[in-house]
Amino acid sequence: MPRSNPSLDMTPMVDLAFLLVTFFMLTSSFRTPEPVVVDPPTSTTKTEIPKQVFMITIDNQGRAFIDLTNPAVKSRVFEKVCNQSGIKVDSMTVKKFAGSGAIGLKITAIPQYLELEANERTKVNQTGVPYDTTGKKSELYWWAYYTRLEAHADFKAREEEAKTRKLPFDKSNYIQFAVKAASDAKYDAVKNVIQVFRDAKVKQFQMITGLESEPSLK
């Protein structure tokens, strides 16, 4: 009686497994740790978030957190804002800031925060970037102001480079301002933050929303 071989040929399955691994490795992007989890409201819009954004997160207590997807621009903005407030930072701190994810602290507290290890950072109770508009320009204003300038400079630099190297240039890749606010945040808080950005001559915002089903007019 012929004995059947108990071992299966698993090559196709393994091939497929590796194919999927490669696919997921290449397509997935990791979420950076966020100091607050914000649940945005839903809408029916289908526009996707731009590639590069200056993200303003507003939680339900009205605290503002800032983040920038482009590390080079982020570090330049940080240097400028520190300069503005008369704080001296070394290149190490700037580098740490560029890779730190969203931050909602006073500028004076940021270098100290960056000294901490990642797991200690989550324990810090962040107070939000101050944006109180009474009196002189708030810190958030300077973040907005320098980001707007640097975003423009970055765009121009890339355009110039594309021209000299005769490469196609993606005009849509401009750093834009995105607002991610908690759905139960007071609108007045969101409005005050936006007001600061309007003072800094930022007029266009991408309001981040969750997905909702197709609407009907009936």
Partner 1 sequence: MAQIQDNGGGGHGKGDKKRAKKQSTHVDMTPMVDLAFLLLTFFVLTSTFSKPKVLRMIFPEKLDENVKDQKAPEVKDGITLLLTANDKIYYYRGSLKPNTELIPIDYTRTGLRKVLVDYNADMLVKLQDIQKRMNKLDDKDTAAKRKLDEEVLNAQKASKQIVLVKNDEGATYRNMIDVMDEFMITQIAKYYVIDEGMAKLEVDLIKKQGK
Residues that bind partner 1 (CB under 8 A): 7, 10, 14, 17-18, 20-21, 24-25, 27-31, 40-41, 43-50, 58, 178, 180-191, 194-195, 198-199, 201, 203-212, 215-218
- State in angstroms the smallest separation of the CB of 119 from partner 1: 19
Decide: 86 and 108 in contact? Cβ < 8 Å.
no
Cα gap 159→198, rounded to integer Å: 26
Q: In the complex with partner 1, which residue's Cβ is closer, 165 or 217?
A: 217
Residue that has been written with the tokens 């804002």 in this structure = 81
**Residue with Cβ nearer partner 1 (143 or 197):** 197
Nearer to partner 1, 113 or 205 (CB): 205
Q: What is the spatial distance between Cα 162 and Cα 164, in angstroms, rounded to a whole number? A: 6
Helix pair 71-84, 139-164: axis angle to 10 deg: 140
Least distance in angstroms from the C-beta of 13 to partner 1: 8
Least distance from partner 1 to the Cβ atom of residue 193, Å: 10
User: How near is the Cβ of 35 to partner 1 at its closest, in Å?
Assistant: 18
Which of 151, 186, 149 lies closest to 51 in space, CA to CA?
151
Please say which residue, 14 or 157, places its beta carbon nearer to partner 1.
14
Least Cβ distance, residue 177 to partner 1 (angstroms): 10
Here the tokens at position 157 are 């630099």
Closer by beta carbon to partner 1, 51 or else 163? 51
Find out whether 69 and 77 touch, Cβ atoms under 8 Å. no
Instruction: Please name which of 146, 125, 9, 130 lies closest in space to residue 73, comparing C-alpha atoms.
Output: 146
